[in-house]
Chain A
Amino acid sequence: MQLLYDFFTGQMGLDATGAHVSVASLMAVLMFTVMAICAIFFTWMERKVAGFMQSRYGPMYTGRFHGWAQAVADMLKILGKEDIIPAEADKGMFKFAPILVLLGSLLAWAAIPWAPDFVAADLDLGLFYIFAASSLVVIGILMAGWASNNKWALYGAARGAAQMVSYEIPLALAAVPVIMRAGSLNPQDIVISQQGGIWHWNINPIANPFLFVAFILYFIASIAETNRGPFDMPETESELVAGYHTEYTGMRFAFFFLAEYANLFLVSMIAAMLFLGGWWAPLPGMGWIPPALNFIIKGVLLVFLNMWVRWTLPRVRVDQLMYLCWKVMIPASLLCVVGAGLWMMAWGQLK
């Protein structure tokens, strides 16, 4: 980042404010591009993973090698689709909802630490900001369901709102032990606190078993937060047709679709950052691997785990989902916070 500032102030001859604005704009464009590419890649990956889990191939033709261009072709096709807005829909809200859903995801991407000196917005309250920004998605989903003027969409939206609001609590609580260990809310500091090989990562159950439990809680909550199986209540394609985006077509639908995969990678990257050592290589001698590559590989592995779960398990019912959140996961994550604190006090790790 410093390099970029130097480039704009030195080479381009801009003052400090100008350089700041330039860097911010550049990063915004870059993050959006990366997000779109990731979402398209994960669409393809999901189809391949699902295919192999179901003893079939998935896309095989478009672009020759294992249908790599299928997702790109789908996106191009969807651009040409008719944009249908139901006659009785609340038009303004109907149009704004997909943007808000994508925005919630995109804003959170800004604070992701990709490499030691590469983060779009290096915020001291980064983690707090990420959780706050990604909760915008709930409003978008609720708006989409309400504005569609469709009963199935409303069902999906009501379920989705209840689910996502509930699961944000264990999601954030599971991050608290990590914050306690790092002594900071800054994503970079959290990553730096896990320096020195795989046994220093927060996931190591020997160093602190409560952090390991927190990782599992975070993973479960993140599946619910991204509305994916077995917690895909807002969509539940066998009950609610397509849930909150039943009435959406064309590019507006694609926005929801992109946001789902962007969110999926986002929560996986946060998990990698919180528990899997962020951009650190697994072993000390592996410093030659680019840090960003480390980080992305960890994120993709977690995404794969997420897909594995989705294509294996049946879906829970909506009341069971709420039970799981309020009566199991929130008490468990509170206990986890207390336990982790006591553990760190006992071993003198608390900052």
Chain B
Amino acid sequence: MANDPNVAKAAAPKRGWHDQDHVPGIKSELLELNMGPQHPATHGVLRLLLQTDGEIVYKVTPVLGYLHRCAEKIAEGVTYKQWVVYTDRFDYLAPMCCNHAYVTAVERLMGQQVPERAEHIRIAVSELSRIASHLIALATFGLDMGAWTPLLYCFREREEILNLLERISGGRMLYNYMIPGGVRYDVPNDNWVADVLDFVDLMEHNKLPEYNTLLTYNKIFIERTADVGVIDAKTALDYGCTGPVLRGSGVDFDCRRDDPYSLYHKFDWQVQVGRGEMGTVGDCWDRYIVRAREIEQSCRIIRQALQQLPDGPYQAIALKALVKVPAGAAYTRVESAKGELGHYLIADGGQTAFRNKVRSPSFCNLQVVEKVGVGQMVSDLVALVGSLDIVLGEIDR
């Protein structure tokens, strides 16, 4: 079938028919199209202002701010422990990773040691969250490509994860689980660890092959995603892309390995990068497959973290309701499901933070649309936005 990258290249800007006087006296102009904020392919309240010539996109301008909740400003008004709740609402598809990023920043300022058991639990729940988020990414990307059924399959497995996380934290979607110095609750003694291990086995050996058969190696799916929306390594680095988007472009970088936090260095796992198996390195298919393979790696990490789960306290003993944070500044970054999630926390010694600046991966990843989306077809733009896996709660904060 027609999978011709030249289609996009031939239609590069300033070579369209509207620039030339083919028909004297007849003026043609680009079509302005509002994709969003209410549109099925923008994954939330993102608004993309398009200028199109038929099916070809000439200009993409993301318009943000429809979900702005002043979360960073609120951080200046609530105590350190209270603000954990707000981190849940950033990347609401992987809240555990967001919790982790923030509590790491507070702990670094406090100089607080975290018990080893707590670190193991944190890694396990963070990775479960990552799997849940990547499942949504695969599912909605499939949906953007018109494949309905993988969506339901992925949500079925995500439901299992939500049930497991509900048992440990009490919440299904917004957990508020980690606190500076540990985690809020210990592992429940209703066979939780065994259930997680069962689920991880099922996911790795049974469900991932199922998705691969249904979607990943489907001929139409490959035609739609290979060679589409190519982000080369330089562009990805220039625009500050992180996470699966950066790794999909072939850059071997992962905060969990290259800037180790928590206990990730203890476990045996591999960073997955896009290899351009179906087309060019950095195309939509590469970003998709990096996520699929990261699910597998997360399964390995969870298995090790829970099999080696040490005994001991799950919170630092000295922890009180009101944490005392000495004056200073700290920047910590963790590898969230979407990429590098950083917290720049400035404390003035009071009960609340002086300033908390969040570096959210989706925000940085989205910028690349302006460059890569140009010259694509409208359908390919949908593929590109889908493969970036943005979550609006994190972009607008």
Cβ-defined partner of A241 (8 Å) among B40, B220, B221: B40
Chain B residues contacting A64 (CB-CB under 8 Å) are: none
**Quick one: given A53-B149, A54-B153, A324-B1, are A317 and B377 in contact (CB under 8 Å)?**
yes
Q: Judging by beta carbons under 8 Å apart, are B148 and A311 in contact?
A: yes
> With A and B bound together, what is the CA distance between A53 and B153 in angstroms?
10
In the complex, what residue of chain B is closest to A240 when comparing beta carbons? B378
> With A and B bound together, what is the CA distance between A323 and B152 in angstroms?
31
**Quick one: given A55-B152, A315-B145, A319-B2, are A241 and B39 in contact (CB under 8 Å)?**
yes
Cβ-defined partner of A320 (8 Å) among B3, B41, B147, B151: B3
> In this assembly, does A314 line the interface, its C-beta being within 8 Å of a C-beta of chain B?
yes
Q: Judging by beta carbons under 8 Å apart, are B31 and A151 in contact?
A: yes
Q: What's the nearest-Cβ distance from chain B to residue A14, in Å?
A: 53
Q: Judging by beta carbons under 8 Å apart, are B146 and A229 in contact?
A: yes
Give chain B interface residues in 184-239, CB to chain A under 8 Å.
214-215, 218, 220-221, 223-224
Q: Judging by beta carbons under 8 Å apart, are A320 and B382 in contact?
A: no
In the complex, what residue of chain A is closest to B142 when comparing beta carbons? A314
Give chain B interface residues in 39-80, CB to chain A under 8 Å.
39-41, 55
> In this assembly, does A239 line the interface, its C-beta being within 8 Å of a C-beta of chain B?
yes
User: What are the interface flags for B1-30 relative to A under an 8 Å C-beta threshold, 1 for contact and 0 otherwise?
Assistant: 111000100000000000000000000000
Cβ-defined partner of B145 (8 Å) among A151, A314, A319, A328: A314
Q: Judging by beta carbons under 8 Å apart, are B215 and A314 in contact?
A: yes
> With A and B bound together, what is the CA distance between A50 and B152 in angstroms?
10
Q: Judging by beta carbons under 8 Å apart, are B221 and A317 in contact?
A: no
Give chain A interface residues in 218-248, CB to chain B under 8 Å.
229-230, 232, 236-239, 241
Q: What's the nearest-Cβ distance from chain A to residue B347, in Å?
A: 45
> With A and B bound together, what is the CA distance between A327 and B147 in angstroms?
25
**Quick one: given A230-B146, A313-B220, A314-B215, are A151 and B2 in contact (CB under 8 Å)?**
no
**B side interface size, CB within 8 A:** 34
User: What are the interface flags for A315-335 relative to B under an 8 Å C-beta threshold, 1 for contact and 0 otherwise?
Assistant: 111111011100110000000
Q: Judging by beta carbons under 8 Å apart, are B147 and A313 in contact?
A: yes
Q: What's the nearest-Cβ distance from chain B to residue A312, in Å?
A: 6
Q: Judging by beta carbons under 8 Å apart, are A319 and B7 in contact?
A: yes
> In this assembly, does A81 line the interface, its C-beta being within 8 Å of a C-beta of chain B?
no
Q: Judging by beta carbons under 8 Å apart, are B152 and A315 in contact?
A: no
Chain B residues contacting A53 (CB-CB under 8 Å) are: 149
In the complex, what residue of chain B is closest to A231 when comparing beta carbons? B146
> In this assembly, does B163 line the interface, its C-beta being within 8 Å of a C-beta of chain A?
no
In the complex, what residue of chain B is closest to A326 when comparing beta carbons? B2
Q: Judging by beta carbons under 8 Å apart, are B382 and A315 in contact?
A: no
The CB with the most chain B CB atoms within 10 A, among A50, A314, A327, is that of A314
Q: What's the nearest-Cβ distance from chain B to residue A330, in Å?
A: 14
Cβ-defined partner of B218 (8 Å) among A152, A236, A314, A323: A314
Chain B residues contacting A229 (CB-CB under 8 Å) are: 146, 148
Cβ-defined partner of B40 (8 Å) among A238, A313, A314, A318: A238
> In this assembly, does A56 line the interface, its C-beta being within 8 Å of a C-beta of chain B?
yes
Chain A residues contacting B220 (CB-CB under 8 Å) are: 230, 313-316
Q: Judging by beta carbons under 8 Å apart, are A312 and B146 in contact?
A: no
> With A and B bound together, what is the CA distance between A317 and B382 in angstroms?
11
> In this assembly, does B379 line the interface, its C-beta being within 8 Å of a C-beta of chain A?
yes
Q: What's the nearest-Cβ distance from chain B to residue A99, in Å?
A: 28
Smallest CB-CB A-B distances: 9 pairs: A315-B146, A323-B2, A54-B152, A314-B147, A314-B145, A320-B1, A317-B379, A314-B221, A314-B146
Some 6 contacts from A to B, beta carbons below 8 A apart, are: A229-B146, A229-B148, A312-B147, A315-B145, A319-B7, A323-B2
Interface residues of A (CB under 8 A from B): 50, 53-56, 151-152, 155, 229-230, 232, 236-239, 241, 311-320, 322-324, 327-328
Q: A238-B145, A322-B2 are in contact. List 16 more A-B contacts (CB 8 A).
A: A55-B152, A151-B33, A152-B33, A230-B220, A238-B40, A238-B41, A312-B149, A312-B214, A313-B220, A314-B145, A314-B218, A316-B220, A316-B224, A317-B223, A318-B377, A324-B2
